[in-house]
Structure 1
């Protein structure tokens, strides 16, 4: 199984990718609206097809990416039936299963943080995704969205901590950089729900937290009750329109060799600034260089930015695409709005039979 744990720094939210490598089918648990490009890039680079997004609950601190991913990839939206959310394809109840290839996650209702909280347990019970019901050495608050300390205590004790001791638990958030815990650890060390704590202890603790409401609550909750669908269908991030570029999982915009060749051949006004960022000796070596490319070594780029025009697109090139990727990041940070890296560099350009000036034939 393919597993990835992704992170949103703004809300300290974890997003989880589960996928079957043979069928290529994948699930995303708790996707975040602002990370559409990151998540689609990861799926594309791993050769996966997103079957469904699964939210653990109606979040109060960020907007789900479920609707955006559905619009972009055709994935189904799955949420708790008890959440009251609109526009979902799958309204989940306790005991349901959501499959990806031959694998599945079991749906467990774990209300208490909100009335519609779900946890997702992998079919072999080796992993569980607990949302905000159970955090690492903590738990979600219980003072809004039909929260209840007594209900959350029962949910965690009966539906999560009843799993095998070795089961790894992955929370919806962590604010200290912790990534994973286990049933055994939380049974023993969770200061709110573990050890000899009873429902009275827990209720007394939770009723005196005195926390302010999440800053984005008035925005996030209404949006998440629509599964992240913006009013009037707005909100889809616009991709660059100056060329057919794609964003990598590493956050770098790239253009494929054939697409670049077409752009170079057809763009007459405001032509692309094609920068070869290799060293001077490499510009005329066995690989040659692309016709029209300007030599501007990466080692000199930071001090020669004034020689470039910010209102014209820039494509960076090197041998393999590594140094030019660094150059594209430098240019973007310097305020160049239209920058892309030639994916695979000159090695891929030549492998696809595209022409160069000089070099070995």
Structure 2
């Protein structure tokens, strides 16, 4: 899935490597972090620990940034949320990567310690870090500047060891031998956090982790972990079976938690706005109400307008919603898609369900060759 080029905002560059695009995403319902890493030169990307209910968000971000997803990776078979890997595979054709030891269904890339996962000229090293579960993996960036530790090592904590073949002795060895062997400067990105902590580093966790940092020994760590009395994750009965299918729903009719309404092939932007491209709107023009929310001067000005579109300027929209036809979906337009985005949000809040923004506005409509009335001659 590749769209028009873009200029990345945040880049990291490794010595001898390509520029890296990096995004940290968050699911507040489960405290889960999802990570997107992309090689700017090739536009290939991987995603780590996706969440089923955030599929629409993740797909929109990939589309907007123009990235081709080559793999959806999970650090382990989660007990607190269902992975979005199968949905991403269905949408993009990407590989599904999980530890071979998990023995989950629908995995197309069973992972072992020492594997290398390439995306463009960048790559991740797979490190086996069991102990929270027997199939936990951590992913280390090629230059060892970043590592994604899943639930093995959290910020000032670590994953529990009391189910899914967890073992505190094993987890101690995983953290001290596989993660604490990384450079002190290596940034550690956890699978979860519930206190707003987004990142740590090897040197910080060696010094300050309350369970195994400072002067703590393996005996101290095991004693701490064996004394914890934690309730099971409240979604474990749903999450574990779902993740053993790589997130594939039991109901074969389910394709996405953000499935499009039947009236149009909506795409949601990363901001969550339903959008439609000019091509689809033009070919279905007779069955739609095109609502132009520019000023009256712009509507009659040299930029032109779509024939038979309804003019209600944005400042007047809230008080004139009743003027919209009730028997047709509404596509909102303005010059660039900015004001119409706000208008779309207002209409959705007012209870209209069949509403979408014209992606790119009238500027894109004209660029793609669709007719406008009243355009000034050049």
What TM-score results when the alignment is normalised by the length of structure 2? 0.90
Over the aligned positions, Cα root-mean-square deviation in angstroms equals 1.5
- The aligned runs of 1:61-72 (5 Å cut-off) are 61-72=80-91
Size of the alignment, in residue pairs?
356
Q: Secondary structure at the match of 1:40?
A: helix
1:310–1:335 Cα contact (<8 Å) kept:
no
In 1, Cα distance between the equivalents of 2:34 and 2:328?
36
Note the residue ranges of structure 2 that are not aligned, 5 or more in a row.
1-19
User: Could you tell me which residue of structure 2 aligns to residue 272 of structure 1?
Assistant: 288
Name the SS of the counterpart of 2:237 in structure 1.
Answer: helix
Task: Kindly state the Cα deviation for residue 311 of structure 1 after the two structures are TM-superposed.
Answer: 5.1
**1:87 is matched with which residue: 85, 106, 118?**
106
Q: Which residue of 2 aligns with 1:331?
A: 347
Deviations 1:182-238 (A, max 9, x none): 111111111112111112211222222222111110000011011111125342123
Alignment of 1:1-361 (within 5 A): 1-237=20-256, 238-264=259-285, 267=286, 271-309=287-325, 312-361=328-377
Measured in 2, the distance between the counterparts of 1:140 and 1:312 equals 52
Distance in structure 1 (CA, Å) of the matches to 2:25 and 2:184: 25
Deviations 1:49-79 (Å, cap 9, x if unpaired)? 1111110001011100111111111111111
Runs of 4+ off more than 6 Å: none
Aligned-partner Cα distance in 2 for 1:131–1:184:
18
81-90 or 318-327, which deviates more: 81-90
Distance apart, 1:319 and its partner CA: 1.3
Name the SS of the counterpart of 1:130 in structure 2: strand
2:5 aligns with none
SS in 1 for 2:79: coil
Cα distance in 2 for residues equivalent to 1:234 and 1:185: 47
Query: What is the CA–CA distance in structure 1 between the aligned matches of 2:348 and 2:229, rounded to whole Å?
Result: 43
Quote the Cα distance in structure 1 between the aligned partners of 2:162 and 2:318: 52
Farther off after superposition, 44-53 or 159-168:
44-53
> Matches of 2:49 and 2:75 in 1, distance apart?
6
- Per the alignment, in what secondary structure is the counterpart of residue 344 of structure 2? helix
